[in-house]
Structures are given as structure tokens and as C-alpha cells.
Structure 1
Amino acid sequence: MLEAVTSYGTWIWHAFFGVPGSQNDITVLGCSPLFNRLKEGKTPQLDYYIIGRQCNMGYYLADDIYPKWATLVQAIPNPRNDVKKLFTLHQKAYRKDVERAFGILQARWKIISKPAKGWSRENLNSIMMSCIILHNMIVEDKQDGYIDGESDDDQEDTNRSRRARAKIYDGPNLPFNLRTGSISINEYMRRYKMIRSRATNNYLQQDLVTHLWAKRSME
């Protein structure tokens, strides 16, 4: 099983491969490094607003089968008005990016679309991760706007841009234990409950629906 997070350009930002066979699309979330690092307070600090409501966790677009977590946003089943239909249309369209990335991986490297029972789990993991790294290298090479050499004139602007990007990766200001290097169990459980908050999921979805409709009305 491959768990992946990808963007519109099919750049794969996160990949988790080699989950035991007893896992499925839902239970894999319990051992996903993506959410484990969020619970441990080791992910970038995010602060943004959606129609005036402050949010401090990123979210991912997912299928309806996934649980109602604060970090997942599903499409609205059976939308009954134009506002909800618009949101569901956009949500499903953007969610296709990860499926498109899977399709590109299989098209570029036939080895990952063939039967794999003869391979060991370690070899399968090495094959998959190698294909993902090569895929990202190809995507990066084709992207426009990246800097290939710098001049003295734009050196200052480039450094300022890099500082701005680096700031995104600042970690949350949490009290870590100096001996263990981890947060307290109380802070861990607080973040655990925060991630699995169904109420936050509902608020986030409603805010995104309202924001998308308002944006369309202004166009």
C-alpha cells in the first residue's frame, strides 16, 4: 500500500509505503508518519484564516470513506444546492491530482504495476521509493520559475525569498522534554484529540464551502 500526498504538479510531498497487509485505507491513518509527526508536534507551524476563522493545522482532501478528522476534508455526499455542489465539484477535481500521480508512476515504471509476490518487502520499498524520487526529479526539472543560477543584482531578492520560504518550516513552539526530546503525554493527547475532532472537520468544511462560493460571486 502506498500513502501519498501530492500537489497539482504531481510532486509527491509525502510517501509511506510497505504497510502490513492487515492495514487498509482507513486504519493506515493510525500508523501514518504524516499524522504521527503532527501529534508529536514535529510538523511546520501553520497559521491562516478562512472567512475570519483562525486555523493552525493543514488539511488534506480525501475520499468519503475517511473519518471526519480536522486534518481531512471530504466531499459533501448528495449536495442539494448550488453552493455545496460547487464545493464538491472542486474538491473532487483537486483530489484527482493524487490519482493522476499514481497513474504517472505506473506509466513511467512498469515494474511497480506488475505482480510483486516474488519480491521481499524491503526490496519493494526500495523500488517504490526510488521511483518516487526519480518522479520528483523529473517534475522539478520540468517546472518553470525555479532559479538556475543567480546574478549579483538578484542575490538580495533571492536571499529574502529563501528566508520567507524557510519561515514556513518553523516548528510549533511546544514545551519539549530536554531528556527525551518529546512533548509531554498531556500535550500529545491534546493534539491527538485536536486532530480527530469531528466538530473542527465540520467547521472547516462549512468555511471552505462559504469561502469558495464567495470567491466565485466576486469573479
Structure 2
Amino acid sequence: MRRELFESILNAVVNHDHYFARKIDVVGRQSPHQKLTSAFRMLANGCSLDSTDEYCRLAEATAIENLKCFCKAIEAIYGTTYLHKPNRENLKRLLRKADRRGFPSMIESLDCMHWDWKNCLTAWAGQFKDHHNKPTIVLEAVASY
């Protein structure tokens, strides 16, 4: 992730929720950078809470609370921009682009794939097995173009 994007998300989250403001812990350090890095690592890499503790120096309970607060903040900040139904102008624009690409009347497409989850927690591995007995998750993507 580019540093500018990380800083932009960090500033938006800190301004939205006081949970992410800079606080001094018992050891004398805990920055919003640690909390954001922890949340990104857990979401992007599927890393365990133990590795979050080792890398970001956050306890398990703090990492779970941090992830929940982060997800709520992201939805509140970016939800109206990116999670909305298209209006009439958006639909017209999407239909024109689809028509130029040879897909008339297509507004969006849905694609799914099974993704190997190499860092799946051992406790969850049984719930996420595929037909090869490997832990996977299903990624769904909806794209307009």
C-alpha cells in the first residue's frame, strides 16, 4: 500500500473515532499506526492474533476490539461513497461503457473464486475446508467495469 493512501485512511479513521487517537499505554507507546497496521494485517493476510501481538505489540483482546472498531469506522466513513445503489446518471454511464465493450445491458458482473487461506487459524480450519481439505475462503467481487 502506498504511504499516502495509508496516511489518508489513518487520518480519516482518527478523525472519525477517538478510539484510534494517540494514547500512551503502560509501556509508554501506542500509536494509531500500530492499530491500523494490526487491522490491515489481519484483514489482508489473515494473520493470527499472536503474530499481531509479536509485530504490532497489541494484546489479543485489544487486536479484536481494534479490528471491530476499524471495520465500523471504515463503513461509516466510506460507506456512503462506495456502498450505495447507483443513481440514474450512474446507470446511464455504466450502460454506455458496457455497450462500448460489447456487453449491452450489462450493469455489473459477479465473480467468485476460492482463495487458499494459508494463514487460517487452526481452530477455524475445519469450517473453511474445500474439496482438497485445504482451508479456503470464497472471494466475491462485484464490478461495474
The answer to whether TM tops 0.5 is no
Q: For the superposition of Structure 1 and Structure 2, which TM-score range results when normalised by the shorter chain?
A: 0.3 to 0.5
Larger RCO: 1 or 2 (CA < 8 Å, sep 6+):
1
Normalising by structure 1, what TM-score?
0.26
Normalising by structure 2, what TM-score?
0.37
